[in-house]
Chains A and B, each alone.
Chain A
Amino acid sequence: MPANTAFDTSGEDLATQIEAIASSSVTANGDTDVWVSSDRLLDVMNGLKEAGYEMLIGVTGVDYVGYFEVVYHLLSLSQNKRAIVKVKCGEGRIDPVMPSVLSVWRGAELQEREVYDLMGIRFEGHDDMKRIFLWEGFEGHPHRKDFL
């Protein structure tokens, strides 16, 4: 059992849980992950935090060429399980904007800045949305697939 998968919440359970929190916010679900719509994200995240996912482990931006995806890894210390919530945004690569989860978890502060800096996804509601690694005035966002 080198890489333990027993602690990932199954996608179906998570989808049911999220539906109970905010109805018709789930757009799809996989084995361990759930896609939610971005306009219901804050409701979902608030609900998940209430439900025991105390820690936001990671915020990741992925460039799928046609659209962007933001992946939230959540961790529940009290129930000892993980959840993966994914949100699609920036359809057609035009101005990807997401609501910020900074109001839910303080841990989003640096991670959202990192996603903005390297992937160019803006988080609305983050009060300090500026570049973190690169300097102000840097052209482009390096982790996008069209940045060489």
Chain B
Amino acid sequence: MPLKTEPITINVGPQHPSTHGVFRMRVTFDGEEVIDVEPIFGYLHRGSEKLAESRTYTQIVTLTDRMDYVASMTSNLSFILSVEKLSGIDPSPRGVWLRMIAAELQRIASHLVATGFFLQDLGTLGTPLIYMMRERETILELFERLCGARITNSYMRPGGVFMDAPDDFWPALDRFLADMPHRIDEYEDLISGNEIVAVRCDGVAVVDSQTLIDASITGPMLRASGIDWDLRNRQPYEYYDRVKFNRPLATASDNYARYIVRIHEMRESLGIIKQCLEQIEPGPVRPESVPFLIRPPAGDSYVGTESPKGELGFYLVSDGGVAPYRCKVRAPSLINLTLLREMLIGDKLADLFVTFGSIDINMGEVDR
């Protein structure tokens, strides 16, 4: 005779140590097993898209900082590219190189946060997280030299960036580039070969690649399922067609694959920054011809960029005024959560948060 069991429902979040912000799930458990998940969003909804409709294009850059607040530079970049496409601005080369350096540094910082908190969810007592925060701190200090701000950078402008890098930025960047590969080796020493990480992550929350594509999931999650889809390579924007880099692909599509893809992408980003440093030339960081108040012609534009979390794009509609008529964000963090329910059902309570951490979302971008 089977034991009589009773499912219990728990509200996980919005106040919970592992929901990466104010995310809430209504989870039904049968014992330790998850039998139903209902994600509930909106605790950080600030109406950024509506706010953008009453701001000029330059002012909106500050709003994009606050969407994905662990990857402000890539949010800036995506918005700026859409504005440039909308208004036909031709950016100056040095500005583009600087934007690429900033975006790749930001990608490393974001992946550090993602893997760090992923391991925190696995139950490490902060050791890998603090190691990764240490390197992220170096990157934030680089950003501080670059533009005066650490998190909310607002560094990019239509046509380039708002100021050139100061002289002391370049030696600091060189030191970081020399140091970082050893740090990544250190993480791998600590984590990648750890048996407990392996047994916890192998074969958990496997999703096949066709389902991922059907659910519009992009970024490292898609690459961890073996699909070679990186917009920097397939639909190059900026000068990504002038740099060479590999795309790490895993086939397992489980939590471990998602982790290891991010670790390897950090190495590739370092390579991209090195190539940028070789090719960057002196010159203006922003063309003189770009006016302070941009009035793009009526029309719309969308540019998809590869943010650390997936395809980030801004759909801008202009009516010819100084502010966009409509500014819609294609937020990878939100859309990557589409399959959350399928990934979690049938797994144990402990895997709930690990899987959630491996998706790598940012509540600022989910709710906007």
The reply to whether B326 and A132 form a contact with Cβ atoms under 8 Å apart is no
In the bound assembly, the distance between CA atoms of A111 and B42 in angstroms comes to 14
The reply to whether B330 and A57 form a contact with Cβ atoms under 8 Å apart is yes
Interface stretch among A11-19, A40-48, A76-84, A92-100? A76-84
The reply to whether B216 and A107 form a contact with Cβ atoms under 8 Å apart is yes
Residues from chain A with Cβ under 8 Å of B317 in the complex = 62
22 contacts between A and B (CB under 8 A): A1-B236, A2-B239, A4-B237, A5-B85, A57-B313, A58-B302, A58-B328, A62-B317, A63-B326, A73-B315, A73-B330, A75-B311, A80-B234, A82-B235, A84-B302, A106-B339, A107-B217, A107-B335, A110-B334, A111-B216, A133-B41, A133-B42
Q: How many A-B residue pairs have CB under 8 A?
A: 111
In the bound assembly, the distance between CA atoms of A6 and B304 in angstroms comes to 12
In the bound assembly, the distance between CA atoms of A20 and B337 in angstroms comes to 35
Asked if B47 lies at the interface with its beta carbon under 8 angstroms from chain A, I say yes
Question: Within residues 25 to 61 of chain B, which ones have a CB less than 8 A from any CB in chain A?
Answer: 41-42, 45, 47, 49-50
In the bound assembly, the distance between CA atoms of A132 and B23 in angstroms comes to 12
Instruction: Give how many A residues have a beta carbon under 8 Å from the other chain's beta carbons.
Output: 40
The reply to whether B216 and A57 form a contact with Cβ atoms under 8 Å apart is yes
Asked if B249 lies at the interface with its beta carbon under 8 angstroms from chain A, I say no
The reply to whether B235 and A4 form a contact with Cβ atoms under 8 Å apart is yes
In this complex, what residue of B is CB-closest to A63?
B326
Asked if B338 lies at the interface with its beta carbon under 8 angstroms from chain A, I say yes
Interface stretch among B5-13, B131-139, B177-185, B207-215? B207-215
A8–chain B nearest beta-carbon distance, Å:
9
In this complex, what residue of A is CB-closest to B367?
A133
Asked if A67 lies at the interface with its beta carbon under 8 angstroms from chain B, I say no
In this complex, what residue of A is CB-closest to B302?
A73
Asked if A125 lies at the interface with its beta carbon under 8 angstroms from chain B, I say no
In the bound assembly, the distance between CA atoms of A2 and B90 in angstroms comes to 8
Residues from chain B with Cβ under 8 Å of A6 in the complex = 235
B residues engaging A (CB < 8 A)? 41-42, 45, 47, 49-50, 81-82, 84-85, 90-91, 96, 211, 213-218, 227, 229, 234-239, 241, 300, 302-304, 311, 313, 315, 317, 325-326, 328, 330, 334-335, 337-339, 367-368
The reply to whether B47 and A55 form a contact with Cβ atoms under 8 Å apart is no
**A54, A56, A57: most-surrounded residue (chain B CB, <10 A):** A57
Residues from chain B with Cβ under 8 Å of A135 in the complex = 42
The reply to whether B237 and A2 form a contact with Cβ atoms under 8 Å apart is yes
Residues from chain A with Cβ under 8 Å of B326 in the complex = 60, 62-63, 143
The reply to whether A2 and B211 form a contact with Cβ atoms under 8 Å apart is no
The reply to whether A118 and B49 form a contact with Cβ atoms under 8 Å apart is yes
The reply to whether B91 and A2 form a contact with Cβ atoms under 8 Å apart is yes
Residues from chain A with Cβ under 8 Å of B300 in the complex = 33, 71
In the bound assembly, the distance between CA atoms of A58 and B214 in angstroms comes to 12
B307–chain A nearest beta-carbon distance, Å:
13
The reply to whether B334 and A114 form a contact with Cβ atoms under 8 Å apart is yes
The reply to whether A54 and B84 form a contact with Cβ atoms under 8 Å apart is no
The reply to whether B216 and A105 form a contact with Cβ atoms under 8 Å apart is yes
In the bound assembly, the distance between CA atoms of A73 and B241 in angstroms comes to 24
Residues from chain B with Cβ under 8 Å of A105 in the complex = 214-216
In the bound assembly, the distance between CA atoms of A2 and B238 in angstroms comes to 4
In the bound assembly, the distance between CA atoms of A142 and B53 in angstroms comes to 12
The reply to whether A60 and B315 form a contact with Cβ atoms under 8 Å apart is yes
A67–chain B nearest beta-carbon distance, Å:
14
A45–chain B nearest beta-carbon distance, Å:
13
A1–chain B nearest beta-carbon distance, Å:
7
In the bound assembly, the distance between CA atoms of A64 and B82 in angstroms comes to 20
In the bound assembly, the distance between CA atoms of A133 and B279 in angstroms comes to 44
Residues from chain A with Cβ under 8 Å of B304 in the complex = 57, 75, 82
Q: Quick one: which of A4, A60, A107 contacts B328, CB cutoff 8 A?
A: A60
B242–chain A nearest beta-carbon distance, Å:
9
B93–chain A nearest beta-carbon distance, Å:
10
The reply to whether A77 and B213 form a contact with Cβ atoms under 8 Å apart is yes
In this complex, what residue of B is CB-closest to A6?
B235
Residues from chain A with Cβ under 8 Å of B238 in the complex = 2
In the bound assembly, the distance between CA atoms of A62 and B325 in angstroms comes to 9
